[in-house]
Amino acid sequence: MLAESIETCPEAAEMASILQRHDNLVIAAHGSPDGDAIGATGAMAHLARALGKRFAIYNATGVPDYLQWVPLPGDVITTPGDLPFKPGLVVVLDCGDLWRIGRELSAVFANYPSINIDHHLSNPNFASLANWVDPGMAATGQMVAAVADAAGVPLEGDLAACVYLSLVSDTGSFTHGNTSAAVFRLAARLVEAGLNAPAIRERLDNQWSLAKSRLWGRLLQTLTLEHDGKTALCSVTLAEIRAGGAVREDLEGFAEQMRRIKGVRVAALVREDAADRCKLSLRSAGRDDVRAVAARFGGGGHLNAAGATIDMPMSGVVRQTLDAIREVTFHDAPSAPHQDRCD
Listed by start position, the domains of the chain span 10-205, 213-329
Residue pair 81/56 in contact by the 8 Å Cβ criterion: no
pTM score, whole prediction: 0.89
Sign for the pseudo-dihedral over CA of 90, 96, 101, 102: positive
Please give the Cα distance from 280 to 308 (Å, whole number).
5
Determine the CATH number of domain 213-329.
3.10.310.30
pLDDT in tens, the chain (343 residues): 343 443 459 999 999 999 999 999 999 999 999 999 999 999 999 999 999 999 999 999 999 999 999 999 999 999 999 999 999 999 999 999 999 999 999 999 999 999 999 999 889 999 999 999 999 999 999 999 999 999 999 999 999 999 999 999 999 999 888 999 999 999 999 999 999 999 999 999 898 999 999 999 999 999 999 999 999 999 999 999 999 899 999 999 999 999 999 999 999 999 999 989 999 999 999 999 999 999 999 998 889 999 999 999 999 999 999 999 999 999 875 544 444 443 3
Please give the Cα distance from 45 to 77 (Å, whole number).
13
Residue pair 49/73 in contact by the 8 Å Cβ criterion: yes
Please give the Cα distance from 276 to 322 (Å, whole number).
18
Residues 6+ apart with CB under 8 A from 158: 42, 46, 71, 73
Beta strands (DSSP E) in 9-148 are 25-29, 55-58, 76-77, 89-93, 114-118, 130-133
Domain 10-205 has CATH 3.40.50.80: no
User: 25-29 and 89-93: which strand pairing?
Assistant: parallel
